[in-house]
Each structure stands twice: as C-alpha cells, then as structure tokens.
Chains A and B, each alone.
Chain A
Amino acid sequence: MHLADGTIRRAVDEPFALDPARRRHLEACPRCRGRAMELREDAELAQRFLAIAAHGPADSEAALRRLDERLSTGGGVPRTGGFRWLRAGDGRHRPVRDPRRRARWVRRSAAALGGLAACAGLLGAGVASGFITIFQPSQVAPVAVTTSDLSSLQELASYGDVSGIPSLTLIPATREQAETLTGVKAPEPASLPQGVTATVSYWVMKGGTVTFTFDGAKAAAVARQLGATLPPMPAGIDGSTLRVTVPSVLIESFGANLADLLQGRTSATAPALVIAVTRAPEVSSDRASASQIEDYLLAQPEVPAGLASEIRAIADPSRTLPVPIPVGLATAQAVAIDGAPGLLIGDQTGLGSLVLWERDGTIRAVLGTLSSDQVLAVADQAG
C-alpha cells in the first residue's frame, strides 16, 4: 500500500508531521520517493511563480500609523499606492496611482526580485516559507552538564548573529487570559499534596522567535581574537538561518506568589507547587539539516567532549528535547506519566523535585518543594 499524494505532499513540507511508520515507508519505497520528487517539483514551480512579485519586508510601523490615522479620523483607508482620482483618457474618473510612489515600489520590487532569485536556488525541501522543521520534540532526555560546559557553550553565540531573544517576562493573568495567550489548557489536579494550599495564581511567560544565522567570517574573526584558528565553516551551514520558536508558557502557582518565589522573597513554610504547560518548541532551518548542524557544532572546540558524546548518544535528536542536568547538583531518572515517557529530576539536597514530559505536542512540568512521589502524583493528574 503506497502513500496518498496528499500525505506525500505534506512530507515534502513537514517530514516530521508523518507518523514514524509512514516516514519509514517513504524512505524505503522507490515509488513513493519518486512521487515525492514529482510533487516537490510542482510545489517549487508554484513557489517560484507566486514569488515573482514579492518585495522587501513590509513596513508594519508605517502601516500601523496609516491605520491609526483612519481609525482616529474616520476617513477612508489611506492607500499606500497613493491613489488619486484623475480623469482618464476616456473621460471617466478613475483612481490612479501617484507616479512618484509607483516609482518607489518598482525600484523596491526590482531589488527584492533580484534577492529572491538568488535565494530561490538555496531552498531545499522547505518550499513555502523557505524553512523546514528540523527539530520538534516529542520526548525528553537528560544530558549531564557542568558549569564549565555551560560557560563553554556560550562561545557558540559567536558563530553567527542572533536576534529576537525573548525577555522571559512573567505576566500575571486570569486562567482564561493565560489559556488564550498560550494556546494550552490549564491542568486541574483534583487533589494536591499535603500542605499545598489550593489558592492558585496564573502566569504567562512570554515566548518568542529567536533567529540565528551562521556566519563563518564572524566565527573566524572571534577565534583569531582569542588566538585560535577554526576550520572553515561548511558552505551548507555558513549563511544558514535557524528559527527557534519558543512558545509562551502557562504557569499555575499553588500557594506562594510566583514572582516572590522566584526572587526568594517568600517566607511561607507551606510547600510550593508549580505546574507549567507549553506547546513544544520548534526549530526550523532554511538550508542546513539537523544532522549537518549537529555534526558541525559537536565538532567545535567550545563543545566539551563529554557533552558531545552525551548528545550524540540521543537516538532521535530531531524529536528529543535535551534537558540539562547539573552534574553533582541533581539526578534524573526515566518515568512514565499516564503512559507518556518523562524525566524525574531531583536535586541532591532533597529540597525539591521536577518531572517533565511531553504529551500531544505540549511540554509539561510539575515542580516544587516536594518529594518525587508528590510531584509524580500531581503529574499523573495533570497528564
């Protein structure tokens, strides 16, 4: 039984949307693979055709000002094309573009078309947006890290340009607001561990999209400043852009005020319990594949050998969220939350526990100044 065209077409754009059995079939079946090539060809034809008039980024701020003008004056929507009503050659009045604005658009469109033509050749299977998903976790796995590991990894930021780092702002909200802002439902555990008060407050940690573009020249320049020499960045990676979508997180805090708790201001003796839910993060790439990036980064001098080995040991890196476990400070063991594989993390002091798991495209966590059994009992209800 071969795959339907609709399924193959989706695999062209979102290979990880297929279940493992269909993915394996597509990889192994010559007929379906051939069909995928045909569908990709048509998809790329459509993409090129629809991009023929694309231009540079829209000026959202200017557009918002135009709309504000409309909303405040109640007049007509100012047209960006600068329409004026003129008498045309046949004697009828028609809206005609302001030729001065027309010239600007023509210049901008021509420049953008040139850029797009150059970019089109670099697009792979990521047809429409130019990005394909290379990482979307459906499970979690522990990775032991030391403080020096983390310090070393910070040097990787010099390998390119990063933008859009979220501020991780915590916003207090009602339950409805939190669910609307995050797109996930707040769990409702029927029973709480002894001592945990039922008073719950809701928060949203704002997410965002982080963009990172590899820059071989920049990486080499930073290395030279440090007296080191890096091997040239592979052409498949240099200039490649990763887009990391960090969804907003819904947080329920039982008992203590979350902001006070995080800043150590609470003096409450009652145990603290926090439940967090977020849609799974996603990493997409406009060119380099997940294996290319992993192979390249793990070979860099900034990545400690031990850490590289741990990451390489992850069986399915494109579907596994690595969870850093501080060596000497915490322990981790695999658990099951209502059938879903998860990770139970306890700190060495025994003061707190955290359980983390994935279900239905969301990452969930229960943590608090509680025992492992207590957080697991809440997690089973938050399932």
Chain B
Amino acid sequence: MPLTTAAPAHAATDPRAAFDRLFRAEYPRVVAIALRILGDAGEAEDVAQEVFLQLHRRHSPHAGFAPAWLHAAAAHSALNVIRARHRRESRERRWMSGAPPSEDPAERAVATDTARRLRAAMGHLSQRHASALALRNAGLSYAEVADALGIRASHVGTLLRRAETALRKEIGDAAL
C-alpha cells in the first residue's frame, strides 16, 4: 500500500472541514446515545442536531474534548426531553384539576409501548446512571464513557453496575 502525502495540516484543520469530519465521525454515536434514552429515532436525531449546533456555537471542532462533550451532551439533552415532557404532563394535571394530561396525538401514534417503557425507566433513574447506561450501550468504550462523565475509567464498572441494578428495579425481570 503506497504512502501518499496530503495537503498541509492547516488545510485539514480548517474549522468547517474539521467540524464536518467530527460530525461524520460522531453523529451515529450521538444518535445512538439519544436513542437509548428516548426510544424514538426521529427525536434522537433532533437531539443530535441540537447537540452539534451547540458544539458549533460554543467550541472549536479541534478541541480534544469535543467527542466527549458531544457524548455527554447527547445523554443530557435526551434526558432533558424526557423530564420536560414529565413536567409538562404534571403541569397539565395541576391546571386541569386532576384530569389526565392531554396526549399529543402524534406522540400516541409514534411512541410504541416499549419506547414509552424505555423513557419511563430511564427518566426515573438518576442522570448519572441513565447517562452511563446510554453511553455504554451506544457503543462507547469505558475510556470514552469516563471522558464523557468526567470520571476515571476504573470507576465506570462500578457506575454501570449500580445503574444496571437500578434499571432492573425499574423494569423488573419481564423486561421485554
């Protein structure tokens, strides 16, 4: 396989080109992380778009922490979607004098029972546990999970174990 030379690194480090490269490299995993919290592919891709938009606004794509930032942001943003929905439903219950919250007809049509169970379970876990589960099960290595959560890789096993115990309590043995 012959070696080839390429344009100087300043061309490779052009911010827009670097952002596109980062996007292509990380987008599938960002979606996968959000999907494991939201249970809906469309919503997961919406979250992924928002997350990359935030990165574009706040940080350089060359930043070494960019992938870890994206992974953490995907988990947090997806959890925020769940919690915002819960807050909206609680608010509606209060305002409508105890009547059940009106369900978005699209929500009812799109969200399968299993997706609702996924969101309910993940929404009841602590942010740290839900994030660890989503990150690891989206395919991140222990080192990547550690980077995203700001902990040591040697602690990820303990965190995952606790998260899986908590998830099991939420879903019971009849998980599927």
Contact = CB atoms under 8 A, between A and B. Distances in A.
B105 A89 contact: yes
B81 interface: no
Contact of A50 (B3, B137, B153, B155): B137
B9 A77 contact: no
A79 B118 contact: no
A129 B32 CA distance: 11
Given A9-B158, A171-B12, A183-B64, A80 B45 contact: yes
Interface residues of A, number: 78
A127 B137 CA distance: 8
Given A53-B40, A67-B52, A102 B4 contact: no
Interface residues of B, number: 75
A200 to B, nearest CB: 15
Contacts of A13: 136, 142, 157
Given A13-B142, A55-B35, A105-B41, A63 B106 contact: no
A79 B46 contact: yes
A285 to B, nearest CB: 14
Interface stretch (A162-170, A222-230, A329-337): A162-170
Given A77-B49, A80-B45, A106-B110, A170 B3 contact: yes
B4 A63 contact: no
Interface of A: 4-11, 13-14, 17, 39, 42-43, 45-55, 57-58, 60-61, 63-64, 66-67, 70-71, 77-82, 88-90, 92, 94, 96-97, 99, 101-102, 105-106, 108-109, 127-130, 165, 167-174, 177-178, 180-181, 183, 204-206, 259, 262
Ranked 6 nearest A-B pairs via Cβ: A6-B158, A81-B42, A10-B157, A173-B9, A129-B139, A53-B39
Interface of B: 1-10, 12-13, 20, 23-24, 27-28, 31-32, 35-36, 38-43, 45-46, 48-50, 52-53, 56, 62, 64, 102, 104-106, 109-110, 112, 114-115, 117-118, 121, 133-134, 136-142, 153-161, 163-165, 167-168, 171, 175-176
Given A6-B158, A168-B2, A181-B12, 19 more contacts: A6-B161, A13-B142, A39-B161, A50-B137, A60-B28, A81-B43, A88-B104, A94-B104, A97-B42, A97-B109, A105-B110, A106-B110, A128-B138, A129-B140, A168-B1, A172-B5, A180-B62, A183-B64, A206-B6
15 contacts: A5-B161, A13-B142, A39-B164, A49-B171, A53-B36, A53-B41, A54-B36, A58-B32, A58-B45, A99-B106, A101-B42, A169-B6, A173-B9, A180-B64, A183-B64
